Chain A
């Protein structure tokens, strides 16, 4: 909030904040929510490490690793899209955004596969504290992937009309920043819940 007084003062191209300040506030709020959630996980685990370790082994780590790869790739495509916009390469923007969306879709597919197995085994939020965190954190993140894909789709529709140029990549950068957040959160979530013991 301190920035209310001085937000717009930077010159357009010297060290400016990519994207919109509003999306950054939103990203900060979301990351804070996740941070508190992660801390709660750490706190709960500290009191119950054996149980957490035991059930952690039932998670599908390969699916998790594949998903990590998918999201990083998705982020990479979105970076390419922003660079394409800065080059005024319209086709490049929409192609790379579309590839980013595809990565997201693949992530969801893997996740649905993983959930189907867990839910099929009768595991729910109420099974135990570990699964409570596993489902809560991954599902909360799952919804963020969907939201990120909705944002990217909106950007893709704009991009096909040639909306993003080197002069105006504001909206694209905002969406890209959000997508990177979704990626970043997974990169913390995956080792924390699937791997770390």
Chain B
């Protein structure tokens, strides 16, 4: 065994370094949780927005789209879709999807939403659009 490079020292540094950086992560996360109310618009969250998020999740929208850049990259970013299409445009698009898709093109399923559900989705997307996400995406195209 080498005198100047010991396993016990390497092990102690592993434990010490890990604990150290995990504590640092906790400290930064703690600060983030303090700051979030100023950015995430939680004061505006209504039951309708909550319902919209649930529809977003149970239709697995993230499986094709991105939301604030996270998700799949098969279909457009939706964090700012309200900016592109407007409330009514978004609803009309969702409602207008043909059941069997568009021949040869990427197709979105027809979910047969009720008007309340469409309103909830729009409310949710509007809420996401209002979040202060450091001006991302770079432009309206997402």
Direct touch of chains A and B (CB < 8 A): yes
Which of B4, B6, B13 touches A17 (beta carbons < 8 Å)? B4
Q: In chain B, what residue has the closest Cβ to A136? A: B28
CB pair A22–B31 under 8 Å, yes or no, is no
Fill in one digit per residue for A167-183: 1 if any B CB lies within 8 Å of its CB, else 0. Answer: 00011001000000000
What is the 8 Å Cβ interface bit string for chain B, positions 7-35, against chain A (1 contact, 0 not)?
A: 00110010011001001100100010011
Closest to B16 in A: A147
Identity of the chain A residue whose Cβ is nearest the Cβ of B1 in the assembled complex: A8
Contact B23 A12 (CB under 8 A): no
Decide: B31 and A125 in contact? CB cutoff 8 A: yes
A48 to B75, CA, bound (A): 38
**Which residues of chain A are within 8 angstroms of B38 by Cβ–Cβ distance?**
126
Identify B2's interface contact among A7, A23, A126, A147, CB under 8 A. A7
Contacting residue for A22 out of B6, B23, B27, B35, CB 8 A = B6
A37 within 8 A of B: no
Interface flag for A113 (CB, 8 Å)? no
Interface of A (DSSP majority class):
helix
- Please measure, in the bound complex, the distance between the C-alpha atom of A151 and the C-alpha atom of B4, giving whole angstroms: 18
Chain A residue contacts of B24, Cβ below 8 A? 140, 143
A8, B3: Cβ atoms under 8 Å? yes
Which residues of A130-156 have CB atoms within 8 Å of chain B's CB atoms? Answer: 139-140, 143, 147, 150-151
B side interface size, CB within 8 A: 18
Q: Mark A5-34, 1 if CB is under 8 A from B, else 0.
A: 001101010001101111100100000000
* A-side interface size class: 20 to 34
Q: Is the CB of B20 within 8 A of A143?
A: yes
Partner of B17, one of A7, A26, A125, A171: A26
Query: Out of A7, A17, A20, A143, which one reaches B9, CB within 8 Å?
Result: A20
B53 to chain A, nearest CB (A): 26
Q: Mark A37-74, 1 if CB is under 8 A from B, else 0.
A: 00000000000000000000000000000000000000
Q: B5 at interface (Cβ–Cβ under 8 A)?
A: yes
Provide the residues of chain A in CB contact with B6, threshold 8 Å.
Answer: 20, 22, 170
Please name all residues of chain B whose beta carbon is closer than 8 Å to the beta carbon of A147 when the two chains form the complex. 16, 20
Pair B16/A8 contact, Cβ less than 8 Å? no
CA distance A151 to B9 in the complex (A): 12
State the CA gap A163–B73 with chains docked (Å). Answer: 60
Q: Check: A124 CB closer than 8 A to any chain B CB.
A: yes
Contact A170/B20 with A22-B10, A22-B13, A26-B13 known, Cβ cut-off 8 Å = no
What residues make up the interface of B, taking CB atoms closer than 8 Å to A? Answer: 2-6, 9-10, 13, 16-17, 20, 23-24, 27, 31, 34-35, 38
7 closest A-B pairs by beta carbon, nearest first, are A8-B2, A21-B5, A20-B9, A22-B10, A22-B9, A26-B13, A7-B5
